[in-house]
Amino acid sequence: MKIYKEKVIPAETREYVVKRSCDICNLVSDSADWPCTSNYAINETEISITIRHKDGSNYPDGGNGTETQIDLCPKCFKDKLIPWLQSQGASISIEDWDW
């Protein structure tokens, strides 16, 4: 879940993400991204392939509908989503990385 705050910009008001919370365990980040314990630690979840569901109507002059999104903290991604996907038959690739 993204937590928004209004920010007044001359001539307009916009919402921007100031915090996130995990939709499963409710862990709240200390910023718009998930927290890290130090400048060198990595603790992030990135979806490089977007999975979303949209439904509604789309016409040349406009449309409307709904879009489903989810926010997951790194712990729920590793400890809940991955095991569930595997239980559903998904073949998960876990690879070492180094640079």
> Considering its fold, how many domains does the chain have in total?
1
Residue 86: predicted pLDDT = 93
- Assess if residue 43 is contained within a domain: no
Please state the pTM of the whole predicted model.
0.54
| Domain around 27 | 1-34+65-91
DSSP 15-56: EEEEEEB-TTT-PBPSSSS---SSSS-------SS---EEEE
* Tens digit of each residue's pLDDT (9 = 90 or more) over 3-34: 888 887 777 777 877 777 888 888 887 666 65
* Tens digit of each residue's pLDDT (9 = 90 or more) over 38-87: 455 556 655 544 566 788 888 888 888 888 877 888 888 889 989 999 99
